Amino acid sequence: MRRLVAFEVMANDADVVGYEPVWIEGSVVGFCTSGGYSHYADKSIALALIPAERVTPGQKAEIEILGQMCTAHLLESPLLKARPD
């Protein structure tokens, strides 16, 4: 079973757009579904499908963007917070 998760990516010149491989401990375990630069959060973000057993707090990964390995870490809380009324 796979889960959809969000990663913060330490991207260089390009962001995730979709279908980039997600590497954990030297093996491809999933792929990105979409991503891009979040101006709200001021971060490069990727959404990815990875095995449910790999969804753990502090999970580190690498995402291959245009042949470059970029460090990524699992986001444990939402980027957007509800506005106070």
> Is 9 contained in some domain?
yes
When divided into structural domains, the chain yields a total of 1
Residue-number span of the structural domain to which 58 is assigned: 2-74
> Is 80 contained in some domain?
no
More confident call, 83 vs 72: 72
Sign, CA torsion 77/47/51/10: negative
pLDDT for 40:
86
- With 0.85 as the threshold, say if the pTM is over it: yes
Task: Determine the average pLDDT of the residues in 20-32.
Answer: 98
> Is 56 contained in some domain?
yes
What is the CATH classification number for the domain harbouring 42?
2.40.30.110
Residue 79 pLDDT exceeds 90: no
Three-state DSSP string of 41-76: CCEEEEEEEEEHHHCCCCCEEEEEECCEEEEEEECC
Query: 40-70 in b/e burial notation, b at 16+ Cβ within 10 A?
Result: eeebbbbbbebeeebeeeebebbbbbeeeeb
- Vertex 40: Cα angle to 4 and 64 (nearest 5): 45
d(CA 50, CA 39): 25
